[in-house]
C-alpha cells in the first residue's frame, strides 16, 4: 500500500444533540455541555428509564427549517441528513454542485425506520401515508440529500451498523485517490427510532444513567441521533479553486473481527487490524498520534475489547491522550464516525483534546486512563475508531494540512 | 493497475441456477406477481443447528458464496463486499411487529440482530473466518454495483488479491403487501405473457443471492474481466445514450464493439422507457437480453444479470429465453449491462472476455 499525503477536507456540516452547527458542537465539547436527556420526540415505554442524545427539534420544526412542501415524504433521518449535508456544501463554498465529478456517499443503519414504525399498520387505512413506504429503503436518505443538493452523479450508501460513516469516509477518500471522482460528500445520518431503542434494550447494553466510557463501573450506552457530512476534494481541484483545506484524511482501515454477530472479541482482533491498516495507509507510526477519539461506547464489551486492541498497537509505548465523546452525544450509530470525524478535524484546527466525561475509576483489566478534562496541545494527527455489529471495525486518521 | 477477473460465480434465484449448465430449465413467470427462490439443499452447506437461526437471505448468501468459491477453486479471500436493498427484511418485519403488537414488551434480540443490513457479509466472514475488509452497500438498485465498483478499486490499487462480492435480497410478506399498496408490484390483473410488451405499471417482484469471486489473475475458471462500473443517480431518458457513449469511450470502445446488451426491463411501462429508446435505435444492431421475467425485480437483481453475462461469455451461448431481439453475433466477448429503477440509480457494467 502506498503512503499518502491524505485527501483534503474542505467543508463540514453537523447536527447533533449538542448543537445544530459545527460551531455549536465545538462550543459544547469544550464547555462540557452534554446533550443527554430524556426522550421527548418518540413515545416509548422506556422513556423514563433510558437517557438519549436527542436533537430537540420536532419533525414539524425540521420540515419548516428545510422549507419542505406539505406533501414531502422525508423521514427524520433524511431531514437531519439534509441539514448537515447542506451545511457542509455551503462550508466548502460549493455553488455549482455538478461542476466537478461530484458524488455523495452516505451511511445509515435504519434509514427511514422512524416513519415505517410510526405508520406500519396505518398504510392500508390512510392512503395519504402511502408516500412514506418508499422512505424505508436504506438508500432513501442519500437520494433525498442528493435531490436537495441537485447532485446527479454517483450516490450510494453504506450500512455496516455503527461503523457505517467511517466506511463512507473511507470509500470517499479512495474514490478521490483513484481519480474516479473529484469531489465527494461523505458522512452519515441516523434518527432515533423505537426499533433501535428496543433492539439495544433487548441486547441489554443500554445504560439507565449517563454513559461512562472506559470506567470500571460502566453500565452501557446511551443512544443518540445525529447527522454529519464532510466534503472531500482532490488536490487538483483544491489548487484550481484555491481552497482552504481544513484537514486531511490520511489513513483508513477496515477489518472484520469474525468473532460474533454482536459482540467484540476479547482481545480486539478486528479493532487491532483496522488500526494497523490505517497506520500502513498513512505511513504514520502509532507514536505520531496526538489524540485518539475512541469508539468508547461504554458497554462493558466494547471498551474492554477496544482497550486491549489499543494496548496491542502501542505495546511498550504510552497510549496517547484519548477520550470518547459519546458522553456528550450518545452513540449515534451510523452517524457516529461522521460526527466524530468533524470533532477530529476541530481537534486539529483548535489544538484540543476533548474530555472523556463521567469517568471515575480505571478498568481493572488494564491501566488505561482517558483524558478527563479538555486539554490544549499541538495536534497534528488524530485517530478515530468506530466499530459495529457484524464484527465491523474501522479506523480513520486525520492530519493537519 | 491490476485487472479484475470474475473467476467464480454462484447464484441462488427464482430459477434453477445451481446444479445446471445455463438456464436450460428456466421458466418465465407469467402467472405470479411475487416469486420465491428455488432453495438449494441448505444442509449440504450449513449445519442444521446454525441454519435454524439464520434468515433466508443469510442462508442463500452463504450457499451462493460457497458455490462461487468452489467454482473459482478458492478457499481464502481478502475481502467480502455485499450489496442489499432491504437486508434481512423478514427479521426487520418480525422485530417491528413484535414491538408494535406487544407494546415494546417481551422482545428477544434474535430478529433485531439479524435485521442489520450487514448480517450476510458478517455471517460469511464468520463462516470463512475472514478478518479482511467487509463492506455492505444499501442504495436501492445500485447496491450491488457499489460493491462491484469498490471491489474493482481494491484490486486495481493492489489492496486485495481476491474478493467475494455479492448481491442479496429476500422478500418479506408484509413489505410486499406495502409495495403492492404503493403500486410497485404489478396487479394480478395486469400480468402479461411478455414483460417487453407490458402496457401497465409495476413489476413482478423476486429475490435471490448472486456471488462472484473476483481476482487479479486470469486462470482456468475465469469467466470475464470487469472493465468498468459506473453509477449515476439521476438521468433523463434522453440522456441515457450520451451517457453510454461516454462510458464506452472512456474504455476505448464504441457501440459497435458491444456483442450483447443486457437491459433491466421489468414490465413497468413508466420506467422501461429508459431502455426502449436505446434498444430501438442506438443498439438496434446489437443482441439484446433481458432477465427480470426470470429473476423478478429486486434491488440486487442486476447481480443475477452479471451472473448471466458471465455465463454467456463462458459458454458463448445465449439461451432463447433471455433474448429480447433476434440479432445474433458470431462471438460474445464484450457485454454491457444497464439497469435502473423508476428512473433513479442507473448503473452501467462492462465486462469482456
Q: How much is the average pLDDT of A18-26?
A: 98
Q: How much is the average pLDDT of B167-184?
A: 97
Neighbours of B256 (CB within 10 A): 10
Neighbours of A394 (CB within 10 A): 34
pLDDT in the model for residue B120 = 96
3-state SS class at A322: strand
Q: How much is the average pLDDT of A115-133?
A: 96
Residue A391 and residue A270 in contact, taking contact as beta carbons nearer than 8 Å? yes
Alpha carbon distance B253, B96 (integer Å): 49
Q: Mean pLDDT across chain B, nearest whole number? A: 96
Alpha carbon distance B260, B148 (integer Å): 20
Q: Look at residue A274 and tell me whether its pLDDT is greater than 60.
A: yes
Are A256 and B103 inside 8 Å of each other by CB?
A: no
The shortest C-alpha distance from B141 to chain A (Å) reads: 9
Find, in chain B, the residue whose alpha carbon is nearest to that of A129. B182
Are A137 and B133 inside 8 Å of each other by CB?
A: no
Pairing of the two strands A291-293 and A321-323: parallel
Are B157 and A269 inside 8 Å of each other by CB?
A: no
Residues 6+ apart with CB under 8 A from A176: A7, A182, A183, A184, A232, A233, A234
Q: Binning pLDDT at 50, 70 and 90, where does residue A4 land?
A: low
Q: How much is the average pLDDT of A197-218?
A: 97
pLDDT in the model for residue B86 = 96
Q: Binning pLDDT at 50, 70 and 90, where does residue A2 land?
A: very low
pLDDT tens for B241-275 read 999 999 999 999 999 999 999 999 999 999 999 99
Domain boundaries, chain A: 7-399
Estimate the crossing angle of helix B273-280 against helix B240-250, to 10 degrees: 70
Provide the grid cell at B98: 413484535
Strand partners, B213: B8, B164
Q: How much is the average pLDDT of A113-137?
A: 96
Are A109 and B116 inside 8 Å of each other by CB?
A: yes
pLDDT in the model for residue B191 = 85
Q: What is the pTM of this model?
A: 0.98
The shortest C-alpha distance from B244 to chain A (Å) reads: 14
pLDDT in the model for residue B228 = 98
Provide the grid cell at B258: 458491444
pLDDT tens for A356-365 read 999 999 999 9
Chain A interface, mutation test: which of B55, B82, B122, most A Cβ atoms within 10 Å?
B122
Query: Minimal CA–CA distance to A187: which of A89, A273, A264, A95?
Result: A89
pLDDT in the model for residue A261 = 85
Provide the grid cell at A83: 441539514
The shortest C-alpha distance from A316 to chain B (Å) reads: 25
Find, in chain B, the residue whose alpha carbon is nearest to that of A154. B232
Cβ neighbours of A158 in B, within 8 Å: 135-138
Find, in chain B, the residue whose alpha carbon is nearest to that of A174. B153
Q: How far is CA A386 from the centre of its chain?
A: 8
pLDDT in the model for residue A1 = 39
Alpha carbon distance B149, A399 (integer Å): 27
Q: How much is the average pLDDT of B88-97?
A: 96
Provide the grid cell at B27: 421458466
Alpha carbon distance B91, B137 (integer Å): 18
Q: Mean pLDDT across chain A, nearest whole number? A: 97
The topology under which CATH files domain A7-399 is Peroxisomal Thiolase; Chain A, domain 1 (3.40.47)
Residue A73 forms contact with B (CB below 8 Å): no
pLDDT tens for A295-328 read 999 999 999 999 999 999 999 999 999 999 999 9
Strand partners, A18: none
Per the rule left: phi > 0, alpha: psi between -120 and 50, beta: everything else, B158 is left
A to B CB pairs, distance under 8 Å: 198
Are A159 and B118 inside 8 Å of each other by CB?
A: yes
pLDDT in the model for residue B188 = 87
Residue B77 and residue B129 in contact, taking contact as beta carbons nearer than 8 Å? no
Cβ neighbours of A167 in B, within 8 Å: 135
pLDDT in the model for residue A256 = 96
Q: Give the rounded percent of residues in chain B with a pLDDT score beyond 70.
A: 100
The shortest C-alpha distance from A226 to chain B (Å) reads: 19
Per the rule left: phi > 0, alpha: psi between -120 and 50, beta: everything else, A298 is left
Alpha carbon distance B353, B225 (integer Å): 6
CB-nearest to A202 from B100, B108, B231 is B108
Are B96 and A201 inside 8 Å of each other by CB?
A: no
Range 238-267 of A in CB contact (< 8 A) with B: 254-262
Range 133-162 of B in CB contact (< 8 A) with A: 133-140, 142-143, 146, 149-150, 153, 156-159
Q: Which domains does chain B have, with CATH numbers?
A: 4-215 (3.40.47.10), 226-352 (3.40.47.10)
ipTM for the predicted complex comes to 0.97
Amino acid at each position: 500500500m502506498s503512503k499518502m499525503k491524505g485527501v483534503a477536507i474542505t467543508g463540514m456540516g453537523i447536527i447533533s444533540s449538542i448543537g445544530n452547527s459545527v460551531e455549536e458542537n465545538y462550543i459544547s465539547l469544550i464547555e462540557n455541555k452534554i446533550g443527554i436527556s430524556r426522550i421527548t420526540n418518540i413515545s416509548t415505554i422506556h422513556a423514563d428509564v433510558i437517557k438519549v442524545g436527542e436533537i430537540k427539534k420536532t419533525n414539524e420544526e425540521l420540515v419548516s427549517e428545510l422549507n419542505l412542501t406539505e406533501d414531502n415524504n422525508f423521514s427524520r433521518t433524511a431531514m437531519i441528513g439534509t441539514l448537515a449535508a447542506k451545511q457542509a456544501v455551503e462550508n466548502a463554498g460549493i455553488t455549482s454542485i455538478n461542476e466537478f465529478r461530484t458524488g455523495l456517499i452516505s451511511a445509515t443503519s435504519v434509514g427511514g425506520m422512524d416513519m415505517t414504525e410510526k405508520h406500519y399498520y396505518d398504510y392500508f387505512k390512510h392512503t395519504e401515508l402511502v408516500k412514506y413506504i418508499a422512505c424505508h429503503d436504506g438508500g432513501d436518505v442519500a437520494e433525498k440529500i442528493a435531490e436537495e443538493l441537485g447532485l446527479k452523479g454517483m450516490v450510494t450508501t453504506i450500512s455496516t451498523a455503527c461503523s457505517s460513516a467511517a466506511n463512507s469516509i473511507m470509500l470517499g477518500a479512495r474514490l478521490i485517490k483513484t481519480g474516479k471522482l473529484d469531489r465527494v460528500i461523505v458522512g452519515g445520518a441516523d434518527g432515533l427510532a423505537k426499533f433501535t431503542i428496543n433492539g439495544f434494550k433487548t441486547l441489554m447494553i443500554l445504560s439507565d444513567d449517563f454513559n461512562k466510557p472506559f470506567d470500571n463501573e460502566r453500565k452501557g450506552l446511551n443512544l443518540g441521533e445525529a447527522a454529519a457530512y464532510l466534503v472531500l476534494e482532490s488536490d487538483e481541484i483544491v489548487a484550481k479553486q484555491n481552497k482552504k483545506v481544513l484537514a486531511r484524511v490520511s489513513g483508513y482501515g477496515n477489518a472484520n473481527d469474525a468473532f460474533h454477530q454482536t459482540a467484540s472479541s476479547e482481545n480486539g482482533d478486528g479493532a487491532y487490524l483496522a488500526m494497523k491498516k490505517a497506520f500502513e495507509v498513512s505511513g504514520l507510526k502509532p507514536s505520531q498520534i496526538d489524540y485518539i477519539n475512541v469508539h468508547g461506547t461504554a458497554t462493558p464489551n466494547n471498551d474492554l475489547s477496544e482497550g486491549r486492541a489499543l494496548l496491542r498497537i502501542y505495546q511498550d509505548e504510552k497510549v496517547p491522550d484519548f477520550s470518547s465523546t459519546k458522553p456528550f452525544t450518545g452513540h449515534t450509530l451510523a452517524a457516529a464516525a461522521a460526527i466524530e470525524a468533524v470533532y477530529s478535524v476541530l481537534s486539529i484546527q483548535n489544538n484540543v483534546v476533548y474530555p472523556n466525561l463521567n469517568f471515575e475509576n480505571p478498568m481493572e483489566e488494564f491501566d488505561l486512563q482517558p483524558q478527563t478534562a479538555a486539554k490544549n496541545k499541538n495536534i497534528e494527527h488524530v485517530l478515530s475508531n468506530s466499530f459495529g455489529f457484524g464484527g465491523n471495525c474501522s479506523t480513520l486518521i486525520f492530519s493537519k494540512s | 493497475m491490476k485487472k479484475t477477473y470474475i473467476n467464480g460465480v454462484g447464484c441462488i434465484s427464482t430459477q434453477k441456477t445451481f446444479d445446471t449448465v445455463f438456464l436450460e430449465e428456466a421458466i418465465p413467470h407469467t402467472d405470479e406477481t411475487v416469486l420465491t427462490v428455488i432453495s438449494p439443499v441448505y444442509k449440504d452447506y450449513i449445519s442444521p443447528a446454525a441454519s435454524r437461526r439464520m434468515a433466508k437471505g443469510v442462508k442463500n448468501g452463504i450457499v451462493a458464496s460457497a458455490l462461487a468459491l468452489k467454482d473459482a477453486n478458492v478457499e481464502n479471500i481478502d475481502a467480502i463486499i455485499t450489496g442489499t436493498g432491504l437486508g434481512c427484511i423478514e427479521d426487520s418485519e418480525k422485530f417491528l411487529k413484535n414491538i408494535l403488537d406487544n407494546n415494546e414488551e417481551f422482545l428477544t434480540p434474535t430478529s433485531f440482530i439479524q435485521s442489520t443490513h450487514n448480517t450476510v457479509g458478517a455471517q460469511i466472514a464468520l463462516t470463512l473466518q475472514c478478518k479482511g475488509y467487509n463492506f455492505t452497500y444499501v442504495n436501492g438498485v445500485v447496491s450491488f454495483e457499489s460493491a462491484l465498483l469498490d471491489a474493482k478499486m481494491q484490486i486495481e490499487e493492489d489492496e486485495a488479491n481476491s474478493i467475494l462480492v455479492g448481491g442479496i435480497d429476500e422478500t418479506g410478506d408484509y413489505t410486499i403487501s406495502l409495495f403492492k399498496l404503493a403500486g410497485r408490484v404489478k396487479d394480478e390483473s395486469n400480468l402479461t405473457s411478455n414483460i417487453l410488451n407490458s402496457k401497465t405499471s409495476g413489476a413482478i417482484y423476486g429475490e435471490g443471492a448472486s456471488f462472484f469471486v473476483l481476482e487479479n489473475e486470469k486462470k482456468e475458471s475465469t469467466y470475464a474481466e470487469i472493465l468498468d462500473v459506473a453509477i449515476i443517480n439521476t438521468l433523463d431518458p434522453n440522456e441515457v445514450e450520451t451517457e453510454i457513449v461516454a462510458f464506452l469511450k472512456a474504455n476505448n470502445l464504441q457501440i459497435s464493439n458491444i456483442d450483447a446488451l443486457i437491459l433491466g426491463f421489468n414490465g413497468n411501462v413508466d420506467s422501461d422507457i429508459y431502455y426502449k429508446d436505446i434498444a430501438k435505435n442506438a443498439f438496434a444492431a446489437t443482441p439484446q437480453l433481458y432477465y427480470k421475467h426470470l429473476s423478478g425485480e429486486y434491488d440486487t437483481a442486476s447481480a443475477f444479470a452479471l451472473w448471466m453475462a458471465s455465463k454467456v461469455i463462458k459458454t458463448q451461448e445465449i439461451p432463447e429465453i433471455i433474448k429480447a431481439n433476434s440479432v445474433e453475433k458470431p462471438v460474445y466477448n464484450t457485454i454491457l449491462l444497464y439497469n435502473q429503477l423508476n428512473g433513479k440509480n442507473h448503473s452501467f457494467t462492462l465486462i469482456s472476455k
